[in-house]
Amino acid sequence: MENYLPILVFALVSVLFLVATLVAAKLFRMAGSGATNDDPYECGNPAVTLAHDNRFSIRYYLLAVLFVVFDVETVFLFPWAVMFDKLALFGFIEMVVFLVILIIGYVYAWNRGALTWA
Amino acid sequence: MLEALREAVGPTLFTYAVSPLFKILALIFLGVLPLIMYLVLAERKILGFMQVRLGPNRVGPWGILQPVADIAKLLVKEDVIPNKAVRWAFVLAPCLVVAPAFVILAVIPFGPSAEQSGGALDFFITDVNVGLLFVVAMATVGVYGIIIGGWASNSKFSLLGGLRSAAQMISYEIPQGFSLVIPLLMAGTMSLQGVVGAQFEQGRWFVFQFFPFGLIAFFIYFVAGVAESNRNPFDLPEAESELVAGFHTEYTGMRFALFFLGEYANMIVISALAVTLFLGGWLAPFPNVGWASFLDLQWIPFMTPGLAGLIWFSAKLFAFLFVYIWFRGTFPRYRFDQLMDLGWKWLIPLVLFTVFGVGIWKTLL
């Protein structure tokens, strides 16, 4: 576990650095002019609606779901790759079965148009 | 003084927390931050020369004081938090981009360990046995910073930019994750120092191992890495002609500077990983090959093996950073549907093929 202690120290140093930068900026910066300056950017016009009241494409959600499926697969591949020499042929066949299932899902998603952005 | 400190905190804490602290401070304040400052200048200069103009040349000779002027300017800029923004998330977002990019540097080996070089210093902060997994986990956190920043601004341009950016980053994380499996298959360990060691034992950089599979994996890793760090030709999140500035449209002053810092820190991390996993890390070209032993630079006076490692690592890192800038000077931007097609329909099948290829090769031999 001792090997992880420097990572913790590093994280603390990074956080301190970020806090110090933001505090320094707070001390030096000029005052805001207020009023319309603080409105969300809308090419100079007063904003009619807020971004949070509007809708955006469902595709982003679909993409996120697909991502979770594939990313979990990747995490399973990592330990397999490290232990490849010990698992040998058996491990390789197991992984082929695992990946073929993934590929079936991938082909299905492709056929349903989930991968096409239009 | 160091001895007194050692007495005060005990040997374990001294070895693992206090003495790395000095290395961490040196790495951040003497290594990464100056590198990023001058990388920005180098980028503007190189782009200038590529476009047959001079680039910044007003602040100091050849513009070498430009980064100092930039920081001073960003420090005194008015700080705007839009009145409809979600304040805590707006403030948190840039920090979430910078911090993980920095923390990844803790596990990257910049040079040989004390045992390998026979010197007194380990040229890395720490070496954990799940190194690569840690890197992947930390790299994912950066996506949160970007999507939170885009959403919290409550501006339409920010929201669209943030969503696009998140979609792009998670799409390219899949081919990148798969391509990282290839060096793992070759090395049989997840410790980054171990991966470099394996390249030394096999006498070959992993790009050239299992030809052409190593090369394909390296290609996929770097393309996905460029997309991950939101750089040209994949800089859609900040496509200024359509989205103003994407997720950081509403950011000003120091907070904007932090997003900028995060982008460059990510470039350095991606390049450093590419060097470590595929191009032999701190090893000289042709490691472990007799006739090429002059490449370890030991014939230079006062050269130690540790220093030579650091020099080779930096040389490769700078080469990658130059390629980043070269891309920006050369390639036009992708359209969003083309970007998604490249990630999902080309890189994923290609990388699956590569994983199978290396697997079959290793099983048969």
What number is the average pLDDT over the span A47-70? 83
A39-53, A89-103, B342-356: least confidently modelled range: A39-53
> Tens of pLDDT along B152-202?
888 888 888 888 888 888 889 999 999 999 999 888 888 898 898 888 888
In this complex, do B132 and A78 lie within 8 Å of one another by their Cβ atoms?
yes
A116 CB within 8 Å of a chain B CB = yes
What is the structure's pLDDT at B117? 75
- The CATH architecture annotation of domain A55-111 reads Up-down Bundle (1.20)
Percent of chain A with pLDDT over 90: 12
* Beta strand residue intervals within A1-118, DSSP E: none
Q: Which residue of A has its CA nearest to B346?
A: A115
User: What is the reported pTM?
Assistant: 0.89
Neighbours of A35 (CB within 10 A): 8
Task: Return d(Cα B177, Cα B135) in angstroms, integer.
Answer: 11
Which segments in chain B show pLDDT lower than 50?
Answer: none
Amino acid at A3: N
For residue B338, give Cα distances in angstroms to B53, B329, B345: 32, 20, 10
A3 CB within 8 Å of a chain B CB = yes
How do the residues of chain A divide into helix, strand and coil, expressed in percent and rounded to 5? 75, 0, 25
What is the structure's pLDDT at B1? 66
Count of residues in chain A: 118
The nearest CA of chain A is from the CA of B296 a distance in Å of: 29
Q: Which residues in B lie closer than 8 A to residue A60 (C-beta atoms)? A: 163, 166-167
What is the structure's pLDDT at B220? 93
Question: Domain segments of chain A: what residues?
Answer: 55-111
ipTM of the complex: 0.87
Contact B224, B175 (CB under 8 A): yes
Contacting residues for B341 by C-beta, under 8 A, at least 6 apart? A115, A116, A117
B301 or A19, higher pLDDT:
A19
In this complex, do B174 and A39 lie within 8 Å of one another by their Cβ atoms?
no
What is the structure's pLDDT at B218? 92
